[in-house]
Chain A
Amino acid sequence: MEQHVIIQEGYTRLKKTRALFIVGLLSALVVLVGVAVTLGSADLTVGESYLAILAGLLPGVFSAPDLATTIVWDFRLHRVLFAVFAGFGLAVAGSVMQGILRNPLASPFTLGIASAAAAGASIAIVLGAGVAGGEYLVIGNAFLFSLLAALAIYGMARYRGIGSETMVLAGIALMYLFSAVTSLLQYVGSAEQLQAVVFWMFGSVDKSSWPKLGIVALILACTIPYLIYRAWDLNALAEGDEVAASLGVPVERSMTVLMMIASLITAVIICFTGTIGFIGLVAPHITRMAIGSDFRTLLPASGLVGALLLLGADSIARSVLAPQVLPVGIVTAFLGVPFFIYLFMHRRNA
């Protein structure tokens, strides 16, 4: 009986640690948002930035200088929040992919989604062809092509049997196809179009706006709760297809639905930001190392880690070469380096 108590207490302690971790992440995120809002090349003091936020929320009670309010509300605030939501979404999509594909090195881009989005963007930029007009030309194309890639994976995997191997192989095939298309378009395009394509592929939060933030927030609000609801199935899938099936999980259907959702989240984010790498790969990994792989806590926690990483990276991107703003995708790419070196040093033979 003693041992029973020890085990019980041990598990309870584990759960508490996880809860604390999430609370800690949330607090860190709030602090980081508070810091990020004060960064920028306009000469606003910290006090002015916060006053401007308050003035925007409660215009009767607080007032702030016009310039500060414009800068904070029209440029900084939505950008900071966008980085938070984008980081959250990419990290969650990454952890879902890693769970379904049973590969800790999978990312939201493993199934060729990034390449497809880049191809769509290139088509819009170089050929001017797309589904929407004006500002949403590139965005619409990138989104459409990402979804096309996801559907193609589903189609191909269905033909050969849905399983992690078939999906990864199909993803690689798509990646090569779309990369080739993008390269061709880069070659054919003018110097300026080439620059535009390359810039898009860097990935940045520059072009965020309140409506775009609203779209992303809406999609996340619809999908994240569902994913957390399906956390047990993700846990089961990680044990192996056959074990998951015997535990009552509809394996093929689950893999398809979950993969589609992860692709949707990825698509809706990168169509606005361009391809930001490494968040979807690194965030779940770090989180798993800290609190284990129960998806009930892994999903929200890795989301928060992703939000922290992307917002942190964006804050660095805005400060390191001020007044120039580095595309955040470049900073996150550098993030990948110490991460992989760490993995390399601490490799265990699986």
Chain B
Amino acid sequence: MNRRLLLVLALLLLLAVPASAAEGIPGDADGDGVLARAEYASAVLAYLDTACMGGTGDLDRDDIRDAAWVYARWDGKPREVVDSSGQTVTLYRPLRRVVTFSGESLETLRSLGFDMDRVVAVDKYSHEKSIFFPECREKANVGSIWSPDMEKVLSVRPDTVILYATISTAACDDIQRRLEASSPGIRVLRFDCFKPATYAGEIRTIASIIDETERGEEFASFYGSTMDRIRDGTADIPDDEKTRVYFEYWFDYTTVAASAGYNEKTELAGGKNPFATGTTEYPVVDPEAIIVADPEVVVKLAGQGLAAGGYAGHDPEALAAIRSTLFERPGWSRISAVEDGRVYVIHSDILGGAQHFIGTAYLAKWFYPDRFADLDPHAVHQRYLTEFQGIDFDLASQGTFVYP
């Protein structure tokens, strides 16, 4: 026992943490943080000397490409970005090997035209989505935020890791801490990419990081125009005239309250949720209370906890079945929503995550069909998939996201 103790103490004293990726702009010989023209020129010459004429030097091809990029696009200076958690990250090179721990940031990168070959590892949930992320099958799987495979992350030698900013903070902070402790050269960026309040800004920030500002603007205005349309269309409705909505989560009689994202989207679409004041995120309500509240529209969420439809399957019958069980609930025939047939099923794939603008558009259209007669969520969805995501997915024959 004593001997083991000594060994441990010795080990603790001899912590050997190797330095990893070199900091600083490649080719910045005087280390002043700026790649001047002269420095760049001599770096290129040194590289050519090494590569073609047998000289010795420590800059390789990737270094020179990065130096060229920094010189041309960033004006020779490192780029500073502020991510969604407020931390300032300095980039000395463009992103070359990215690990994403969230499907939302991965999807956003794809919308912005990022070269997906530069994403070297993804989280396990994205890894499983073979229809939506067909290219992820061959990428490394780094587990989930709560159960990350740190060894895998390190072994793909990333230069950037993307984590959530405002949710799962304890877990994300922990991953960030461990990465920074063992490999100081890895940059950790925190982005949510699913919150209506921050997504537009995040699109532009990420676009600037990957030098796709044009495409970024395009996507941001595509996203923004839909959301602005919804906001403007509902801005002037007085509180007591808002459509009463009962939003049901995956589980029966479980609704959403103020702290839940789905409630935020319901209210964005101009709906009024009588149960918004619950203390927990997903309160279970008394069935009688629903009848008393007499909602004008009922929205049922399908998805993970209630698997049917989504990108995985073209399954309108399943969603239809869900809808009919709602009609058959005891006492529900008295509810306005049921009388008017305004009962809808929507899949979380388009209401949570980065595609929330599509789902919110559907909500707005259901709550106020006259005001949003010209809004076509289906077309928005298809454009998103074809033009921005670049996947071959025809909504007419694949996937089911809403019913009816």
Contacts and interface: CB of A to CB of B under 8 A. Distances in A.
Direct A/B contact, Cβ within 8 angstroms:
yes
B147 A325 contact: yes
Contact of A70 (B8, B17, B147): B17
A217 B10 CA distance: 12
Contacts of B141: 323
Interface stretch (B41-49, B175-183, B291-299, B387-395): B175-183
B157 interface: yes
A224 B173 CA distance: 34
A50 interface: no
Interface stretch (A6-14, A73-81, A286-294): A73-81
A344 to B, nearest CB: 34
Contacts of A69: 16, 18
Contacts, number: 102
A70 B182 contact: yes
Interface string B165-196: 00110110110011001110000000000000
A190 interface: yes
Nearest to B177: A135
Given A42-B154, A224-B1, A325-B147, A74 B8 contact: no
B13 to A, nearest CB: 10
Contacts of B155: 41-43, 67, 71
A67 B157 contact: yes
Contact of A75 (B15, B147, B151): B151
A108 B18 CA distance: 40
Interface in A26-50: 40-43
A221 B5 contact: yes
B15 A188 contact: no
Contacts of A340: none
B281 A74 contact: no
A183 interface: no
A190 B280 contact: yes
Interface string B140-163: 011100110111101101000000
Given A43-B155, A57-B11, A195-B146, A324 B124 contact: yes
Contacts of A323: 141-143, 149, 152
Nearest to A188: B280
- The A interface, classified by DSSP as helix, strand, loop or mixed, is helix
B279 interface: yes
Nearest to A30: B4
B223 interface: no
Given A57-B11, A75-B182, A221-B5, A190 B259 contact: yes
Contacts of B11: 56-57, 77, 81
A279 to B, nearest CB: 18
A66 B1 CA distance: 32
Given A70-B18, A224-B1, A324 B154 contact: no
Given A70-B182, A192-B167, A41 B16 contact: no
Given A57-B14, A207-B174, A75 B150 contact: yes
A67 B21 CA distance: 11
B16 A59 contact: yes
A190 B154 CA distance: 32
Contacts of B152: 41-42, 323
Interface string A158-194: 0000000000000000000000000000011111100
Nearest to B150: A75
A334 interface: no
Interface string B363-396: 0000000000000000000000000000000000
B143 A217 contact: no
B112 to A, nearest CB: 27
A195 B9 CA distance: 36
A74 B5 contact: no
A70 B156 CA distance: 13
A57 B11 CA distance: 7
B221 interface: no
A323 B141 CA distance: 8
Contacts of A189: 280
Interface string A192-222: 1001100100000011011001100100010
B6 to A, nearest CB: 10
A55 interface: yes
B398 interface: no
Contact of A135 (B157, B167, B174): B174
A81 B14 contact: no
A82 to B, nearest CB: 10
B40 interface: no
A125 interface: yes
Shortest beta-carbon contacts, A-B, top 5:
A74-B182, A42-B151, A42-B155, A56-B16, A323-B149
Given A59-B14, A217-B8, 7 more contacts: A71-B151, A192-B167, A196-B170, A196-B171, A199-B146, A209-B181, A224-B1
8 contacts: A42-B152, A43-B155, A71-B151, A76-B151, A191-B281, A217-B5, A323-B141, A324-B147
Interface of A: 40-43, 55-57, 59, 66-67, 69-71, 73-77, 81, 125, 135, 138, 187-192, 195-196, 199, 206-207, 209-210, 213-214, 217, 221, 224-225, 300, 323-325
